[in-house]
A and B are shown apart, each in its own frame.
Chain A
Amino acid sequence: MFSSRRPWSALLTGALTFALTGCPGEQPAKTGDTTGPGSGEASAALSTDEVKKLQEMASGMFGPVPAVAEAAGNELTPAKVDLGRMLYFETRLSKAQDISCNSCHDLAKFGVDGEKTSPGHEGQRGTRNSPTVYNAAFHSSQFWDGRAATVEEQATMPITNPVEMAMADDAAVETVLRSIPGYGAKFGEAFPGQEQPVTMANVGQAIGAFERGLTTQNAPFDRFLAGETAALSPAAQRGLKAFVDVGCIQCHMGPQLGGNLFQKLGLRKPWPNLGDDTGRAEVTDNAMEKYFFKVPGLRNVAQTAPYLHDGSVADLGEVSRMMAEYQLGQQLTDAQVADMVAFLESLTGELPAEYVQKPDLPESGPDTPAAQQD
């Protein structure tokens, strides 16, 4: 039934609306996909008020990096951390005695080696990019497919991986460490009360304990969160706003800006050149998790190129653009990309120079196996 109280005026308004705006079929195909905030906007600095609001919002969303990543299952004693540091640099944990954790996760280079995929035993390449070890202990799982729950668990796995450090098995590792006279006492101090502390499990505990202190502090972004709004350049501020508004935070959230969930690569449209690596599905055998990878944390991301699980993208701007397009269905403008990169650069923190200094390692004993090249 015709219910409008004033049919004539309503009809006229309706006709006028059509006359002014054109017929519905001729409406431009404008969708939410292309109306990313700031698209086409001039790159003006945010107003003081906007910056203040941004700062408040961001401090609720992200938060600073804690100094240490404490764990209930692994008490961080100085002895254990010291041992962990030694083992982190210990090349005798590899078959050819030329690779340590630090080879691929170089602490002087923000915890990575800058390679697409890292050369392992006899120069063999793995299939995945070495992620940074800094702040990694905060992640809720380790590896690109999350197959290890903690850094302790993660630490032992490359040692016996045939394309990485290539030790035959846990026993072989234990034999090497027990043959090096200096280690007995160190393990004893780190794991008091244990009859035989030199075990592969304890190798993981010690390295894990060391890695829990590998945090990067005082990034410009942290200073911004703490209230020093000038710590971010106007471009970085705009980038942060875009980061939130475009929707990057849907995955890159929390103090690490990621590292706490899995996500499908190619969420809005299929990722180009995915290859055979199905990510998490290889661990869980669940077809529904094909191409799911751990969302990396973005701390120090400007220093840890190349990007993605396969290291296939070298440029931070390019990877930002691709993420927006394939994961969020949004086309970033060049200006937005530049802003976003400026923001991501503000996530570069200070390396704990003293903490990561390479320690003296004990000398091999008479029974220490020789390096094997195969």
Chain B
Amino acid sequence: MADTHHNDELAADDHHPHVVSTTFLVGVFVALLVLTVVTVLASYLDLGGRSTNIFVAVLIATVKATLVALFFMHLRWDKPFNAIVLVGSLGMVGLFLGISTLDMLEAIPERDREFSAEGIKRARDRLGPRPGHETGAADDEAAKQLIQQAQMFGALPAAFESKKNPATPAKVELGRMLYYETRLSKSHQISCNTCHDLAKFGDDGQKTSPGHRGQLGTRNSPTVYNAAGQSMQFWDGRAADVEQQALGPILNPVEMAMGSEDDVLSVLRSIPGYAEKFKAAFPEAQDPITYHNIGQAIGAFERLLVTPAPFDRFVEGDASALTPQQQKGLQTFMQVGCTACHMGPLFGGNIMQKLGLRKPWPDTKDQGKFEETGNPGDKMMFKTSQLRNIAKTAPYYHDGSVETLDEAVRLMADYQLGTQLTDEQTADIVAFLESLTGEVPADLIKEPELPPSGPDTPKPDPN
């Protein structure tokens, strides 16, 4: 019998007689099997946190090891010194594992507590360098440093003021009306708000926007929120400021499709309510209803479309405004080099940059500023988008060709910076970008009542 043979062998080594019955040994064997099953089952139960699960598993294993040592290895009948050596070394192993476990649990965020080398590495990468081991103080110190670094982006102002176009309540009110005024389009169906929907973070979520007769333009409608703070307007930067920009789409045949500036003015002059509003907004002007003043009024309104976000609270010193992952993402954002273009309080919007800097951008149908200037140096030069509210303004790029923020981030790193982001880094950056989603000024953007048309107001022309 196998058992007998086994015990004979042990007996020869230990000079101890065979004192245990076979039944007893089989009993111990069954107990071991049962405990193994319990261990496996316990691993599927949530016993109140991972540390408890581990504790239970270790406990059962210890019991099993003890059974083996006591009965199969005859420790039960051995010299006491051998028992002390075994228990002592088991104790040391337990102590070592226990302390390591506590350390890991403290260091690794909840969702990353996978006890694989990869999981631990990722968790450590996410945590980044920490000067000390003491949790609270060290994290505060790291966050403080990050806040300091983040201050290089600068504070988001409460409004983007312009000396050339100072805001007055009357001008802003008129601007808001004109922003929602569909009669500035040939079909009376399209206003600024149609493509730059203030309730949808300032855009329409379309790849390119449908304009007059549903015609699609070639470029994605960028958000109007915080746009006034940019150094230039349109994807190719062809307008210097929001005042100038506001006048473009009204006359664009694929957008609002008005025939001429005079057509626009005759519409506004035919609506009785507007004369007074323009007068109040431009009290100095003899004839305030001018095309230029439409831009001034809409621009004055747009200069107030500012969306303060969690990131701004972070920069002001509130470390908790960004989650640990977002803080990590901010670090990655800076380290990878996104800041070379996405800098300033808007994270961009202030320079032109070549799309496909490190390797050629696959789609060169639209050559950006080159289309405007014909200067070979301007090929593929586009305005660097601002990133405020970027998580809410998909799809991305000048042609709206990329739908997800993940993909947009990955493409940027690859084509602009020559860096392949890991999934982890991408997720961190995306999490960070979500901290740029701000509060829209609900009162300011409420759709105002518009004055009714007069007898001479031209009828809508859907064609």
Contact = CB atoms under 8 A, between A and B. Distances in A.
Contact of B346 (A60, A140, A288): A288
Contacts of A286: 229, 231, 241
A276 interface: no
A44 interface: no
Interface in A239-294: 244-245, 247, 249-251, 253-256, 259-264, 267-269, 280, 284-289, 292
A103 B104 CA distance: 70
B54 A4 contact: no
Contacts of A268: 152, 339
A18 B100 contact: yes
A285 to B, nearest CB: 6
Contacts of B54: 2, 7, 11
A27 B130 contact: yes
A264 B154 CA distance: 12
A267 B115 contact: no
A121 interface: no
A353 interface: no
Interface string A1-13: 1111001101111
Given A253-B357, A254-B354, A256-B377, A269 B344 contact: no
Interface in B243-273: none
Contact of B50 (A2, A30, A263, A327): A2
Contact of A25 (B100, B133, B335, B337): B133
B335 A8 contact: no
B381 A140 contact: yes
A32 B335 contact: yes
B378 interface: yes
A43 B374 CA distance: 42
A27 B114 contact: no
A146 to B, nearest CB: 10
B138 A25 contact: yes
A19 interface: yes
A70 B417 CA distance: 31
Contacts of B103: 18, 23
Interface string B229-248: 11100000000110000000
A72 interface: yes
A360 B290 CA distance: 53
B164 interface: yes
Contact of A3 (B114, B131, B346, B373): B114
A30 B100 CA distance: 24
Contact of A253 (B101, B121, B331, B354): B354
A175 interface: no
A32 B149 CA distance: 14
Contacts of B336: 32
Contact of B376 (A2, A66, A249, A288): A66
Determine which residue in A57, A260, A285 has the highest number of CB atoms from chain B within 10 A of its CB, and name it.
A260
Contacts of B231: 262, 280, 284, 286, 288-289, 292
A3 B120 CA distance: 15
A250 B337 contact: yes
B450 interface: no
Contacts of A366: none
A328 interface: yes
Contacts of B107: 23-25
Contacts of B335: 31-33
Contacts of A267: 152, 339-340, 343
A139 B101 CA distance: 61
A138 interface: yes
A213 B405 CA distance: 45
Nearest to A269: B152
A140 B378 contact: yes
B47 to A, nearest CB: 9
Given A4-B114, A250-B340, A288-B346, A260 B240 contact: no
Interface in B103-135: 103-104, 107, 114-117, 120-121, 124, 127-133
B375 interface: yes
Contacts of A66: 376
Contacts of B128: 31
A15 interface: yes
A240 to B, nearest CB: 14
A61 B373 CA distance: 20
Nearest to B353: A261
B163 interface: yes
Nearest to A292: B350
A27 B57 CA distance: 31
Given A2-B43, A140-B378, A249-B358, A262 B344 contact: no
Interface in B302-361: 331, 334-337, 339-341, 343-346, 350-354, 357-360
Given A13-B117, A14-B115, A140 B377 contact: yes
Nearest to B114: A4
A28 interface: yes
B271 to A, nearest CB: 33
A254 B129 contact: no
Nearest to B376: A66
Nearest to B351: A261
B132 A4 contact: no
B22 to A, nearest CB: 30
B381 A17 contact: no
A17 B240 CA distance: 56
B418 interface: yes
B115 to A, nearest CB: 4
A193 B182 CA distance: 48
Contacts of B154: 288
A264 B340 CA distance: 9
Interface string B357-396: 1111000000001000111111001000000000000000
A75 B391 CA distance: 47
B61 interface: yes
A255 to B, nearest CB: 7
Contact of B115 (A4, A25, A26, A245): A4
B162 interface: yes
Contact of B132 (A25, A60, A280): A25
Contacts of A15: 96-97, 100-101
A255 B337 contact: no
A287 B344 CA distance: 11
A110 to B, nearest CB: 20
Contacts of A23: 103, 107, 133
B9 interface: no
A329 interface: yes
Given A2-B50, A14-B116, A61-B357, 11 more contacts: A4-B115, A7-B57, A8-B57, A11-B101, A15-B101, A24-B124, A60-B360, A138-B377, A250-B353, A287-B157, A288-B346
18 contacts: A1-B44, A10-B115, A24-B130, A25-B130, A30-B129, A61-B357, A61-B358, A140-B373, A140-B377, A140-B378, A254-B377, A260-B352, A262-B231, A264-B343, A285-B162, A285-B163, A285-B164, A292-B231
Interface of A: 1-4, 7-8, 10-15, 17-19, 23-33, 57, 60-61, 66, 72, 138-140, 244-245, 247, 249-251, 253-256, 259-264, 267-269, 280, 284-289, 292, 327-329
Interface of B: 43-46, 50, 53-54, 57, 61, 96-97, 100-101, 103-104, 107, 114-117, 120-121, 124, 127-133, 138, 152, 154, 157, 160, 162-164, 229-231, 240-241, 331, 334-337, 339-341, 343-346, 350-354, 357-360, 369, 373-378, 381, 416-418
Minimum-distance CB pairs A-B, first 6? A32-B335, A25-B133, A250-B340, A29-B129, A10-B115, A2-B53
